[in-house]
A and B are shown apart, each in its own frame.
Chain A
Amino acid sequence: MTDATHPSVAETRAARRVTLRHIADSAFLIIVIYLVMAVVYVAVQPSALSAYSIESLFNNSLPLMLAAAGATFVILQGGFDLSVAGTISLVNVVIATTPMEGPGGALALLALAVALGMAVGAINGIIVAYLRIQAIAATLATMIICQGIALLILKAPGGMVSDFMVYELTASLTDRVPYALVIAALGVVFWTIYSRTDAGRNLLAVGQDRKAAALSGINVQRTEFFSFVWAGAFYALAAYMLAAQTSTGNPSAGEPFLLLTFAAVALGGTAFGGGRGGVTASLFGAATLMLMQKVLFAMGVSSFYTGVIQGMIMITAVLFSAAVHHAASNRRGA
């Protein structure tokens, strides 16, 4: 062991590193970015704080948030899942073509939706984890297949979504706290617990170092498999809330989610390639993306050039989170 000539210095450096790392690892950064953006938004748009505005903002953001949460499971273990677009379309049309009224019906539909999402996820998982096909290509294929099935079920936008889902699920708890926010908060709670269970830890471990994880006794294939299953479940939730919000089914409902989901995950600071990040961060990443739409509108950025700003913000956010992470794990080079 090297002698620590200046233990106090070493200790403080280590301490600083620990706090920075906590910041870098947790969803702290993206939460700050989100809050800053929210403040800006409220400043330029005072009506933003009205109960209705808050409710509609969260209702609108929730599907993307859930989709990004799902994608995070796969990205954390180092994979890639393009099937998000297909799964959302598929589940969305199934919900819209399976009329079930009332709270009981909504619950039954929820179970059906999640089961379907998990089934798609399981197929992805089998193909990627057990047949060992490159994830990006395999999920591209399953995405296309899901879109095809969605078109078989519903040729054009339509179908019916029960009034309970359309009106109750998108309302607010005691007229103040949108259910959408409650669901997002449940997502945070879920991840906080899940990430501390063995399954959650294994997910991160596999993402950091597949080989070491395998040699540590982690069943890497099963971990990969279940990451896709969880992802499918969350995509299904996204599709479910999308159906509630838009009160309709659309065989191409999932298409806009394809790139936005990955943008949201990246914005949240989850590393592509795995091992670092989390669902909470992605939830906030997606919320930030949707809030950005609001802020840009409020700032009156010429709509032709909205994309320029969006692109810049994405790059900056990723650079920022990388910079903090770099400072946190300021280790010796190569």
Chain B
Amino acid sequence: MGQLLAVQDLAKRYGATVALGGVTMGIRAGEVHAILGENGAGKSTLVKILSGVVQPNDGTMLLDGAPHTPASIFAARGAGVSTAFQELSLIPHLSVAENLLLPKVSRGRFWPERRASIMQRAAAILAEWEITDIAPDAMIEDLPLAQRQRIEITRALSHATRLLVLDEPTAALPDTSWLFRQIRRLTERGVAVMYISHRLSEVREICQRATILRNGASIETVDLAGVDDAGIFAMMVGHAPAAPRSETETATGDILLETRDLHVGAIKGLNLTLRAGEIVGVAALEGQGQQDLFQALGGVRKRASGDIIVGGRSAPLGTPGKAQRTAPGIAFVPEERKADGIFDNLTAATNIVMADFASRSTGAFVNARLERNRAAKSAERVALSPRYLGFEVGNLSGGNQQKVLLARALMTGAKILILFDPARGVDVGTKQSIYAMMDDFVANGGTILFYSSELTELVQLSTRCVVLYNGQVSAEVSRADMTEERLLAAAHGPARTPPTPLREAS
């Protein structure tokens, strides 16, 4: 089969910043082609160029032999290229139908189409792509994340006549079977799919070939059957991944945090104990109340009833600030790094030192050097290179942003860390640094509660693991019996057998 998409020496610069520095690759018709690379490797920029969001500075793209130079998303769609974006591109206050049909919802240009007729057309699209549980007139903002992601994908599917670009399509999807079924239907028609995911297992399941990007350049295109994971990692990072971590001993320290019959949001009567020296993992499918639990412990959300006992005393934790100041201190790292975490206009050092500003009265004046000095120690604990401290955080890669957030949490001096998916979407190197920091933290008398969407991570890190189902603890798994299969089974509820494996690890 010939090349459907041929990309040659593609480059993109933002001012003095090089985001993409020479990508050459090809995708065949009917192929599912993976793009692999660490955060900041240039995947998003490649997606943006292909879908017409930004225009490249150099290089050529040929689609079916004709130059592909979309000036807008709309133009790209016209050429048969459509994209499901990682950061969902749905308008919250519009209906599913309108979102599916944007930007040309109404057929007439000056005279609006009847609502019923719009709904009918949308329903047809939903039916075509086997979505039966979402009504076309539902508001996007009322839908859970997983359904929104499916709408995002469906919209892309409905426009893809030549190339479908999927950027982390399974980030919020509990089940890949629907997606893979649609992808196969599409490829049977000869449509090519560019598939971007951090999850190597998925990639291996659905993709035939992969192009590896590093530092904005394409390293190699490989046949996935012919290369093992270690080989792929090596190409992605430029060196072999770190060795697996050693075992941690079971902790028997003091109880630092305890919840009694906690009700908050979807959480219904939760009892939990965190002891000094242990890392407690939380496993759950999407939407089991894990966000509510973490936000409540972080002080972001007020609990409905029940008790949270911190350091032996019942604590109201009205705000994150109060949570930090309630001895022995709770520091919370939220799920949405960009939205709830970083201050992108401020330097990394200021971002880290902000913890100090928030919790205690500091000197009257500060300047950049003072802040760098103060942040240096926390930065070192998360292996954040000191030379980044002076940069605006918005200019750093996702992994380094995450390190900044963790450094800030450490800076609070809190003994209890509440981390929601701390290693999500970061590269392998950063992951290792984060893991090391967590081990180090509990070894020094702290305790960590963390949620992860990746079972491997839970198994690798947790001293013990709590599985949430429907707002309650469905199982508690000790270090000794911890396997991914065990966690997965518990995550599907107490009395059920697991359906198809949802998410497995490499």
Report which A residues bind B (CB closer than 8 A). 1-3, 14, 17, 21, 193, 196-198, 201-202, 204-205, 208-209, 211-219, 275-276, 329, 331-334
Contact = CB atoms under 8 A, between A and B. Distances in A.
11 contacts: A205-B94, A205-B103, A208-B91, A208-B93, A213-B91, A215-B53, A216-B73, A217-B102, A219-B72, A332-B292, A334-B340
Contact of B111 (A197, A202, A215, A218): A197
B317 to A, nearest CB: 14
B93 A211 contact: no
B300 A334 contact: yes
Interface stretch (B11-19, B82-90, B343-351, B424-432): B82-90
A3 B91 contact: no
B67 interface: no
B200 interface: no
Counting chain A CB atoms within 10 Å of each CB, the highest count among B85, B99, B105, B292 belongs to B105
B89 A211 contact: yes
Contact of A218 (B77, B102, B174): B102
Contact of B90 (A216, A333, A334): A216
Contact of A216 (B103, B110, B111): B103
B301 interface: yes
Given A198-B103, A212-B88, A217 B74 contact: yes
Counting chain B CB atoms within 10 Å of each CB, the highest count among A14, A196, A211, A213 belongs to A196
Contacts of B239: none
B103 A209 contact: no
A219 B287 CA distance: 34
B105 A219 contact: no
B112 interface: yes
Contact of A198 (B87, B109, B174): B109
B145 to A, nearest CB: 11
A196 B106 contact: yes
B106 A216 contact: no
B91 A205 contact: yes
B146 A1 contact: yes
A201 B106 contact: yes
B73 A217 contact: yes
Contact of B106 (A1, A2, A197, A212): A197
B341 interface: no
B92 interface: yes
Contacts of B73: 214-217
Contacts of A205: 91, 94, 102-103
Closest 8 interchain pairs by CB? A215-B89, A196-B112, A217-B73, A216-B102, A218-B103, A205-B91, A212-B89, A217-B103
B481 to A, nearest CB: 27
Interface residues on B, range: 35 or more
Contact of B105 (A17, A201, A213, A214): A201
B88 A1 contact: no
B287 A201 contact: no
A213 B295 CA distance: 29
A217 B72 contact: yes
Given A14-B142, A217-B74, A197 B301 contact: no
A211 B85 CA distance: 11
A208 B112 CA distance: 21
A208 B89 contact: no
Contact of B110 (A14, A197, A329): A197
A202 B111 CA distance: 15
Nearest to A193: B112
B91 A211 contact: no
B260 interface: no
How would you classify the secondary structure of chain B's contact residues: helix, strand, loop or mixed?
A: loop
Counting chain B CB atoms within 10 Å of each CB, the highest count among A211, A217, A276 belongs to A217
A219 B103 contact: yes
Contacts of A193: 111-112
A3 B53 contact: no
B264 to A, nearest CB: 10
A209 B112 contact: no
B104 A275 contact: no
Given A214-B89, A216-B73, A217-B102, 13 more contacts: A2-B287, A14-B142, A197-B108, A202-B102, A204-B93, A205-B91, A205-B103, A212-B91, A216-B90, A219-B103, A331-B142, A332-B292, A333-B265
A198 B141 contact: no
Nearest to B87: A211
B90 to A, nearest CB: 6
A334 B302 CA distance: 11
Contacts of A219: 72, 74, 103
Contacts of A17: 142
B247 interface: no
Given A198-B103, A275-B93, A215 B72 contact: no
B94 A204 contact: yes
B55 interface: no
A332 B267 CA distance: 13
Given A211-B89, A219-B72, A329-B141, A201 B53 contact: no
Contacts of B288: 2
Contacts of A198: 103-106, 109
A281 B108 CA distance: 25
A1 to B, nearest CB: 7
Contacts of A202: 102-103
A3 B470 contact: yes
A202 B112 CA distance: 13
Contacts of A2: 144, 266, 287-288, 470
A12 to B, nearest CB: 14
B19 to A, nearest CB: 17
A1 B72 CA distance: 35
B92 A208 contact: yes
B301 A334 contact: yes
A212 B90 contact: yes
B72 A201 contact: no
B133 interface: yes
Contacts of B139: 21
Contacts of B144: 1-2
Counting chain B CB atoms within 10 Å of each CB, the highest count among A1, A202, A211 belongs to A1
A110 B300 CA distance: 55
Nearest to A5: B470
Interface in B278-294: 287-288, 292
Contacts of B266: 2
